[in-house]
Structure formats: structure tokens, C-alpha cells
Structure 1
């Protein structure tokens, strides 16, 4: 396993939920025709359509950026591998529930693939519950192949990079976002992030959670099963290597976003998704702005942990 002991911790600004609700409503109004933002009790996430291994998004909320894109491009560093159970302890929250976006361990899975993490990590007297999905390129037809991780593997590992929201998985008050008909240029995730950045320009805030794209289609990518044999030095190189698709709602998306990097070389937003119709991967933005509808649940994080930050860095491939 990679050296997770190289951890940096920063306390984040955490507004009152009612304050945050008003801020997000104002910002999203600039990007969507219909917006409702409320403070509500978190729905039971063990039920349809989520089927998470915990009931809620509350309890000691925090986010982490593990590894990074520089471990994937320009040249892959396959030895960079992490265990979510160990990450939870590094986050000072053993037994945490984690969701977000990452890459599989190619050593374990035997190929490269997108990981949609949904893990209740192990605690004393309780084993881990891994409800994650992986999305890869089907070698038969070149299309998306989504699989339940636990049906093939028994670990909680991931490789190279991960952006994770962690909490105790408890019920409680959360921010509910409803948005319809995109009128602006930004995805719902980018709109949320830019809203926080504009309202709190001198502070760092982070949020994590899950949202459903209920109607419409989305632009996504899936990494190829094989790593590039040539260095990927530019965004154009990366985009040419990735496989892009348009997929159909409903999509259940897991997202982590940070309003302002406090000097930790962060990926400021990252969203992966799964579905119950066999499509999963990395979410960019909806492609049907006139008909798209979103429903999401988010929580502000109290801390951010930067784990195993790459010594040599760049900004390529962070879209």
C-alpha cells in the first residue's frame, strides 16, 4: 500500500445549513430555470434508488483527496494503491462511510476502470460493507460495462487517485437541491462549487453527497482497460485516450467539491455515477439542458485531508 501517513489536514469553513441553503439557492438560480434548496431530514439512503450501506450523510463530515491525477498521467504509477479501511483511520473516523470518485486498483481488478466508491469501512467487531460499482469498457462491444464490485472482489482497495466524502452514515439534517432546465453553461456540480467560491472568496468550503439526474442525458467518460503506452502530456492527449459516451437518466451520482484550494494541490470537483440500467462512469454535464431534472442531498465538510500528495504535479486531466 502507498504511504498514507503523508497526510495534511485543514479545517474548513462550515456555514449554518440555513445560511448555506440561501447561498446555494441564489447561485443555482443563475444556472437553472427552476430551483428549490431546502434543509431537510436525509432520506433513508438504504432504500431505492440509492441502496447505500448506511442510512444518512451525517456525523463528522469530512472530505479527502487521495493521491492524484499525476499518478495516472503523463505516465501511470500502478504501485499507488490505497485501502479505504486504512484511509478511514487516517481521517480519524474508523468505520466511516465513504462515497465519491476514484480508480480501481489495477493489481486487484486486472485492468483499469472507473470506481464508484460506496463503502462502510470496517470497525471493531464489524466487517466492511462494500457497495461500490466499477465501470469499464466492454471488450466485446466497446460500450460501458457496469459491475457490482463485491460480486467479483472482496477488498476495499483503489488505485492512484480518489476524492471521497466520509461521515458516520447517520440520519440528520442535510441540504436538498432540486433543479430543472439548465440555462447556464455549468454542470450542477460546477454551479454549486462556483457559488460557494463567489460567496466565500477568502475561505475554503467543501461539500459531498449524492444527486440523482432524474431526467435527460449526460456526457460521461470511462478510462480504457489498458493504460496508455505513450505519455499523456496534455488535456488533448488525455481526452483522446478516454472513451466518451452519452448516457440516459436516471443516474445516481456521488460528488465531492471544494470551493477554494487551501494550497493542497486538490482536484476541486469530481463526480462518478452508477445506474440501475447498467451505465456508470465519470460524469461531466447533462447534454439535454431543456429537459434535465436533478435531486440531490449534500453536506458541508468540517475538514479536508490531503493524503499522499504527489511531489511532482500538474493541472492536466482534472476536468
Structure 2
């Protein structure tokens, strides 16, 4: 099959979520984070101007009327690679009943446009038609970060879809010096699980690794044989890992659970920077010097597209 298999409107299910107030979210983080970070502050603020540095995104803000598009997934890599599936973010926003939205989040870049399989931080403003998506791809023994101008991707993405306007209220978190073994987004997710048990709570947002270093991976091109022998092979042999330096801007989407049978990816974070570093975030490697600052908002629904 050719690359024309567009799956952007293949909606499997719309899941309603529990939407905590920003105050309740802030309380959950205030309760949980001090066990994992030495210094923690949490408040509720206007979203910073995302169109300026260090974000440099196509929308001035995010957070209002937020829903999550949970598209494809690792099931498009294993047991079979479904590289023929194509996804268009403008169509996805329509599928999410939010045609004028700003969409951002982690995913796999569009290999037909980039030329190889790659990592993506989506940045698409459907109201203005602007696209600022970043992709990170392997280049010889290193990697390269670049921008693309089409609102498309392959394989999978976890997209936060919300109003493309400024002045939206979000939860603001600062955390310094990691004490435990849990990474920053996973510690936020653990706070959701603790505060809202048995409920599906979903968040989208950005955080900045302001100091320190982090372990990231960048996907290589697809294997020549066209498939993987095992899931273990993907993580241990195929993916390429690098230590990358702050400041990193990280786009994250998380869910307090997998949404029953619907295989939600409970946490996914991709990063970019203006110094050429970017990819899939795993964890920081410098717990003593690490400093995070993040902005988050809850989603009212999850649209499960191309469930696999």
C-alpha cells in the first residue's frame, strides 16, 4: 500500500475524563512532589507567551477547552510496522471537534517528508494555518533537529488540542534537585494517580529543563528487513540514546491510566531546543543540579484515533 492511507479521522472512541479544578491539580502536585524534589513550588498563572523564546511556537498559549488526541501508538511499530498510515493534524483537530485549535505534543515525524523515520514535537495552529513542528532525526553517528512546514506525521502522536489564544490559566510548577528515582513527568503522573484514584485524568503541557542534562533517544530509520524480531529489540538495539543539555523545551501528554482497553500511552514527552538538541525524553541524568519549570492543563476528553 502507498502512503495515501490517511487515518486521521478513524475515531475509535471518545473517552470523557475527570477534569479537576486547577486548584485541585495544584494541591495534588504540592502533596506529591516534595518526596521526589528538594524544592517545589506550585501556583496558578496565565500561560506564558508560547510564541516567544524559548518556546517559539505558533500559538501564544494553550489550555482552554483542552482535549487530547491519542493517535496510533507503538502498535504501529510492532508486531508489524504500519508505515503506510498517514496522519494530518488539521484533520485530527476536526475529528476532535476543535477545528480552530492549537495542537502540540510528542509523536513520530512524517518519514515521507523528512526522508527517514524520526521524532516529532508537533506545533500546528489550525486557526492561523501556521506550522512550526520540530523533528529530530539521526545523522551519521549524531542527530539533527529541524523544522517542517506540513502538519503531518506517521505512526503515532499524543496531541494536546486547545484554544490558540493567550491568557489561558494553567498550573505552574517549579521543581529543583531530584531526590528519588522517578523522572519529572512520571512524578506528575504519580500525583494524579494518588489524588484521583479510579478516575481518568489527562494532562497536556510544557516543561523546561533549565539546568542539567537528560537522556533522550532518537529513532533511526525503519529496519531494512521491514519488521522487528521483538519489542525488546526496539529498546535495546534499535533506538539510539544520547545525553543532551539544558535548556530543553519539552512537550508532554500524560494520563492517570490506560483508559481501560484503549491503550492510552500513560506518559510521552518529546523535547527540542535552540542549540540542536531534541528527541524523546527519558529522564534527567544530573539529579543534584536539575531544575524544571512547567505549565499544565487538564483535558476534558481523549479522542482515541487509529486505536492499535
TM-score class, shorter-chain normalisation, is over 0.9
Per the TM alignment, residue 236 of structure 1 is displaced from its structure 2 partner at its CA by: 4.4
- Of the candidates 1, 5, 10, which is equivalent to residue 10 of structure 2? 5
Separation (CA, whole Å) in 1 of partners of 2:239 and 2:223? 10
Per the TM alignment, residue 3 of structure 1 is displaced from its structure 2 partner at its CA by: 5.7
- Of the candidates 144, 155, 159, which is equivalent to residue 154 of structure 2? 159
Tell me the equivalent position of 1:116: 121
Tell me the equivalent position of 2:235: 238
Separation (CA, whole Å) in 2 of partners of 1:48 and 1:3? 31
Tell me the equivalent position of 1:57: 62
Q: Is the contact made by 2:11 and 2:95 (CA closer than 8 Å) also made in structure 1?
A: no
Separation (CA, whole Å) in 2 of partners of 1:219 and 1:238? 14
Separation (CA, whole Å) in 2 of partners of 1:53 and 1:234? 36
Tell me the equivalent position of 2:135: 134
Separation (CA, whole Å) in 2 of partners of 1:105 and 1:46? 24
- Of the candidates 23, 28, 49, which is equivalent to residue 23 of structure 1? 28
1:169 aligns with 2:199: no
1:286 aligns with 2:284: yes
Separation (CA, whole Å) in 2 of partners of 1:274 and 1:172? 23
Per the TM alignment, residue 110 of structure 1 is displaced from its structure 2 partner at its CA by: 1.8
Per the TM alignment, residue 7 of structure 1 is displaced from its structure 2 partner at its CA by: 3.1
Q: Is the contact made by 2:134 and 2:146 (CA closer than 8 Å) also made in structure 1?
A: yes
Q: Which runs of 5+ in 2 are unaligned?
A: 1-5
Tell me the equivalent position of 1:186: 182
Q: Is the contact made by 1:232 and 1:238 (CA closer than 8 Å) also made in structure 2?
A: no
Q: Which runs of 4+ in 1 moved over 3 A?
A: none
Corresponding residue pairs, total = 300
Alpha-carbon RMSD:
1.3
Cα distance 1:98–1:3, how it changes in 2: closer, same or farther (>3 A)? closer
Q: Aligned to 1:117, what secondary structure does the other structure show?
A: strand
Per the normalisation by structure 1, the TM-score is 0.91
Q: Is the contact made by 1:101 and 1:270 (CA closer than 8 Å) also made in structure 2?
A: yes
- Of the candidates 185, 196, 201, which is equivalent to residue 197 of structure 2? 201
Per the normalisation by structure 2, the TM-score is 0.94
Of 227-236 and 299-308, more deviation after overlay is shown by 227-236
Q: Is the contact made by 2:100 and 2:164 (CA closer than 8 Å) also made in structure 1?
A: no
Per the TM alignment, residue 59 of structure 1 is displaced from its structure 2 partner at its CA by: 2.1
Q: Aligned to 2:35, what secondary structure does the other structure show?
A: coil
Separation (CA, whole Å) in 2 of partners of 1:223 and 1:103? 9
Per the TM alignment, residue 302 of structure 1 is displaced from its structure 2 partner at its CA by: 0.8
Separation (CA, whole Å) in 2 of partners of 1:227 and 1:105? 16
Q: Is the contact made by 1:17 and 1:175 (CA closer than 8 Å) also made in structure 2?
A: yes
Cα distance 1:237–1:254, how it changes in 2: closer, same or farther (>3 A)? closer
Q: Aligned to 1:225, what secondary structure does the other structure show?
A: coil
Deviation string 1:143-175 (CA, Å, 9 cap, x unpaired) is: 12111123xxxx211001001111012222110
Cα distance 1:232–1:212, how it changes in 2: closer, same or farther (>3 A)? farther
Q: Which runs of 5+ in 1 are unaligned?
A: 311-319
Separation (CA, whole Å) in 2 of partners of 1:240 and 1:178? 35
Cα distance 1:34–1:236, how it changes in 2: closer, same or farther (>3 A)? farther
Deviation string 1:163-190 (CA, Å, 9 cap, x unpaired) is: 1111012222110010000001111100
Tell me the equivalent position of 2:3: none
Separation (CA, whole Å) in 2 of partners of 1:187 and 1:228? 34
Separation (CA, whole Å) in 1 of partners of 2:219 and 2:259? 29
Per the TM alignment, residue 228 of structure 1 is displaced from its structure 2 partner at its CA by: 5.4
Q: Is the contact made by 1:82 and 1:158 (CA closer than 8 Å) also made in structure 2?
A: yes
